[in-house]
Amino acid sequence: MTLLTARALVKSYGHTPALRGVTLDVPEGEILAVTGPSGCGKSTLLHCLAGIVRPDAGEVHYAGHRIDTWSESARSRLRRGDFGVLFQFGQLVAELTAAENVALPLLLAGTGRRAARTAALSWLDRLGVADQADNRPGEMSGGQQQRCAVARALITEPRVLFADEPTGALDTLTGEQVLGHLVRIAREQRTTVILVTHEARVAGYADREVLLRDGTVDPTGLGLGAPVAGRVQ
């Protein structure tokens, strides 16, 4: 079943075009890598699909609903529930502990503080960083911070996880560890993942790869949506 659809998306920043008519279908449960050189529109596409920004033209549909026309508050609610978002630098709140950071989406959704902390501790344990629960981001390594960010993005058990260069700030080994955890949990929960990356080794964790060039889907090869050769299991 197709869960997320983009139709002829166009987006510009001033006079600079970022997307030039991108069309894409994402089935439920798929891990999709969106790849391409810097400046090709990867992050803009992710932001449009996640409802972070509105396209200038085109449509975004999620579970049969057109969401690009929704209000900012409605799209924000979607990102607190059905959607999870993971950024390159984690963007943890510096003043909060790891457990408090991970619990934050549940607290914003109205979950009680005790239940939210219990869930956060469970997720930190699943990501192998339970021992960091009471540490603040400045007291953790980059890899530990990003595992906490993964836990925070997944704690609401979203149907779709949007990951924008999630290992871009990490060394190769740490990045592999973080990706391994992310993919394992996504497959366990049948979470659909949109993974933006410029690295072939990261794309290797996906089921399928779409290549962007100059704001369009490349029609000459992987841009057609090819299965990833040598996919990491």
pLDDT value of position 91: 83
**Rg, C-alpha atoms of the chain:** 17
Q: Measured between alpha carbons, how far is residue 155 from residues 80, 105, 109 in Å?
A: 10, 8, 12
pLDDT value of position 90: 64
pLDDT value of position 168: 78
Strands 57-62 and 31-35, bridge-based pairing:
unpaired
3-class DSSP assignment, residue 77: helix
pLDDT value of position 109: 86
Among the four given CATH numbers 1.20.120.1200, 3.40.50.970, 3.40.50.300, 1.20.200.10, the one describing domain 1-82+197-233: 3.40.50.300
Block means of pLDDT (10 residues each) for the chain, 233 residues, are 96 95 96 92 95 96 96 91 83 94 92 96 92 96 90 93 86 84 89 92 92 88 47 48
3-class DSSP assignment, residue 67: coil
For 6, the enclosing helix (H) or strand (E) is strand 2-13
